[in-house]
Structures are given as structure tokens and as C-alpha cells.
Amino acid sequence: MTNDDVLIIGSGIAALQLAVQLTDDVNVRILTKEKLRTANSYLAQGGIAAALGANDHPSKHIADTLEAGRFHNNPDTVQQIIQAAPNLIQRIAQQGDIFDKDQAGELYLGMEGAHSEKRIVHGGGDATGKNVMEFLISQLKLKKNITVEENVFAYELLLNSDQKRCIGVKAKTSTGAIQRFYGKHVIIASGGCGQLYTYTSNAPTVSGDGIAMAYLAGADVVDMEFIQFHPTLLYINGETKGLISEAVRGEGATLVTEDGTQIMEGVHPLKDLGPRHVVSQRIYDFLKKGKQVYLDISNIKEFRKRFPSITSICEDNGIHISDGKIPIAPGSHFLMGGIKTDLIGRSSLDGLYAIGEAACTGLHGANRLASNSLLEGLFQGEKLSQWINEASKEPLVLAQDYFYYPPHKEEKFTLPTIEKIKALMMERVGIVRNKVNLKKQQAWLEQYQVEKILLDTCSTQDMTKVFMLITASLITESALIRTESRGGHFRSDYPKEDQHGWLRKSIIHNYKQGMEKSDEQIETALAT
């Protein structure tokens, strides 16, 4: 048993930003499912958005964020994070050689979809996540108050005796042993749920664990219907092989069919740089008709130099950059919803926090603006560290009557394969949704009754399936309730936005209190 001031579940940019900025008198423990570098953040090719250009201003960045999010965003959250972005990036840039610069020595600013100005800061061309992560890892190694535990699978949040405060987590180690970790501040930074879908840009570890754990513990989970599908994943023989950053289209690549027809002409004013849900749906329509879509990169000069990581991914999979075309398909990329938190990450359950993609602060609304995610993680990590640094340093007292172990009824259970879960989510709750398919998926998920399974007796693979099924249920139910199309949620039976009934309403799930379904309940939850 361990007892720390701060217990962090996950090891992405938000987690490490938090850890390195906590003062040396705060005892920190990081639990990560696999290795420190297997987080989604490490794979991030794109960049970080900030209004740094001479012609740019945070007000423009705010407007773009709200437009991309289809005005489902929390305006106060958007304003605070976007206004803080320029200084945040400049401070990080001054600490190390992380970001790319132009010939004048200024930060090189790129363009991405749905942005009105060049404002994307990159590192290593298309290795921004890796660059920032390596910088944070180097800082982590200098801190003696931080312990990193790798290959530790967290699976159940521990509550106090009145079930009103989170005090720790149960986890399985690489040997299969169950261990309890306690902390005064328990932070979920485990990422989203991209692995619920057959086609995804996400790391293999990102399967909704943290969100499912928080839900089972009684924390509010919100906006789960809003899944962003990235338009351009490398697509070969029916499989996706990696992300092709939106920055490629920002540099001038276009989406074409085999015969060179540009598919975004007349579809959106921004054409190939339109919002991701618009571009993904357009590509999806062509693929359903059996027509392959490509990124035409023939007019990008020095592609290898500008995009070294993408070049390697393509050539490792037999695609020659010199041919000028990269076969692509859309896949799950980012979850706009998650554990409902305030700006710094406090959840509805005392003692439990969430930061990064696992959290829903309201920044992204119904669809994330490109390169706002790393920004949010860095911002939240910094803000939460400031709050914890100023909080009382009194340790968590682990009295015997402080503990609560929820009753479990151990039953024999059967679970589907991970491949089956992913395939049905892709088919029924993917880019295009409708009531018939959503109802089918809801019925299929309900048969497993995974909330009754005693996780202590499960293998880590079965735990992963349980968390995938729980998270899939949250997404499916939310998608069924939202009878409109907005951002990353597209209903073919309700193809238009309902500007009056659904503009700012959120669907909130709470395992212990039920789900808020009615308009009145949703509006009340939003107001509070």
C-alpha cells in the first residue's frame, strides 16, 4: 500500500505537465498502463495552437474554436484557455529547443483546418507530441519527489466510507498482483477512447479506462456522443496504419479520387481544410461507394523534410512519397466529451480530478479545433499544479473507517472479442449514425451487464473489454438521445442542427444517480 499527496493515472502531456510543475514538497506517483512513452501525446504529429502571428489575435482563435465546436463549447473556458495560449507557448519555447523556427529565428507558424490564421506551432516538423513529451520527461528525471510506476493497470477507484470522496485506486501489476494506491489528490489523465473503433489514430492503450472508472465511482460523465473522426489515416488493404496530419493539407495537399477529382470542391468554403466532421463524412461517402480517396501531395515542396515521420510511416507500409498520392480513410481520433470537470480539472466527486482528453472542460464543444488538445493538456496541467501547490499540505489520514469497498456479486460472464466491439462501434456508432443502428448497438451492449463483473478476478484483457463496453454504452446512449447532428455527432435521420432545442444542452451520465435525459434535466445540469 502506498499513500501519496498526488496520484496520477496516465502519462501523457497533461499528466507530465502537472507532475513537473508540482513543488518538491509534494509527493507524486504516476501510474501508467504500459511505458511512459506509449501515451497518445507521444504520437501527436500536429502541433499546438496559439495566436502568435502579427495578424492574429486570441479573439480570432476563440471565434474559430467556437465555430468548429458548433457553439456547444463553454465560452468562459474557451476564452481563458485561448487567451493564455500565447504566453504558455512562449514560456515553454524559452525553456528548451522544442519548437521549429523560421529563418529569422521566430517560431514557425503553420496552418490547419478551420483556422483563420497560421497559428500552429510544431516541433520536429511532424513530431510535436514527441518533442514536448521528451522535454517533459527530461524535466521529470530532475525531480526526486516523483515516482513512475510502469506496467500498472489501474482499474477501480477507491472511495471513503460515505462514498463522497475518492481516496485512491486499485491496480494490477505486471505480475498480476492487486495493489492499492492512495492519494489526497487522484488525477485521471488516461486519455480518450479511440480504440473503441476499428480505424483509429490512437495508441493501443487508449480504450476509455479512466472514463469508465470515474463513471463507476459516481463521477459525472458528459458529451460522450461527440467523437472526432480524423479525415486522413493511412489506409492500406482495409486497415489504417497511422495518422497523416492535417498539417499536410495545411501545406497544400488536396483530397482526390483515383482519377484526380477533388472531392471537397463545392462542399465547404474552406474546401480541404474544412471542419473535420465535414471532411470525414465526405470521404466516408466515397469509401461506401467503393471509391478510394487519396491525399495529393504532389505540390508540396520538400515533403520528406517537412514531414519526416509521415514519410517513414508511408514508406514502412510500401507507399512511395514520390508517387504523390497517399491512400487515406477517416478514423476515430479524439473524444470531445469525458469526465465533467471545471477549468483546472476538478470532477463532481471530491478528491478526483481529470485532465487532458479524459476530461471535458467544454473547450472543444461538439468538435475539437485542430491543435487545441495539446494546448488544453498543457494548460490544465499547469493550472492544477498551481492549485495543488497552494492547497493544504496536510496528508490524507487513512483511518480504518475511511474505506468503502463496493459490494460485488461474482458471476460467470462471457465477453465479446475486442475486434467485435470495435467493428460494431465502427458500423453502428461511427461517422454516420441513425436510430436503427444505435438501438441495435444498445441492445447488444446491454446483454453483457458488465457493471456486475468483479474486476478483481479479471485478467487485464478482460478488464479492457469491460471498460470498452461501458464507454461504448455511454457513447451509444448519448448518440441515441441527441436527435440532431452537431460537430462530431452526425445522425442521418436528423441531419440538421437543432438551433433552438439543442444548442447548449449537455447529456450527463452518472452511474449512481442515473442519466439526465429530459430537456429540463439537461438544462438544470447545465445551469449548475
Q: Which residues are annotated as catalytic?
A: 276
Residue 496: Cβ within 10 Å count: 9
Q: Is 212 exposed, middle or buried (0-12, 13-18, 19+ CB in 10 A)?
A: buried
Only one residue has cell 479524439, namely 334
Instruction: List 332's β-bridge partners, or say none.
Output: 200, 229
Residue 95: Cβ within 10 Å count: 10
CB of 348 within 8 A of CB of 215?
no
Q: Is 299 exposed, middle or buried (0-12, 13-18, 19+ CB in 10 A)?
A: exposed
CB of 29 within 8 A of CB of 4?
yes
Closest to 153 in 3D by CA, of 471, 456, 369, 383: 456
Q: b/e for 19-55, b at 16 or more Cβ within 10 A?
A: bbbbeeebbbbbbbbbebbbbbbbbbbbbbbbbbeee
Cα–Cα distance for residue pair 303/305, rounded to 1 Å: 5
Q: Is 435 exposed, middle or buried (0-12, 13-18, 19+ CB in 10 A)?
A: middle
Cα–Cα distance for residue pair 447/461, rounded to 1 Å: 19
CB of 257 within 8 A of CB of 377?
no
Query: What's 455's DSSP letter?
Result: G
Helices (H), 145-272: 209-217, 247-250
Q: Is 501 left (phi over 0), alpha (psi -120 to 50) or beta?
A: alpha
Q: Is the dihedral of CA 309, 96, 87, 10 positive or negative?
A: positive
Cα–Cα distance for residue pair 381/442, rounded to 1 Å: 35
User: For residue 179, what is the enclosing H or E element?
Assistant: strand 178-188
Report angle CA 462, 425, 436 to the nearest 5 degrees: 130
For residue 303, give every residue at least 6 positions away whose Cβ sits within 8 Å of its Cβ, in sequence order, or none.
297, 311, 321
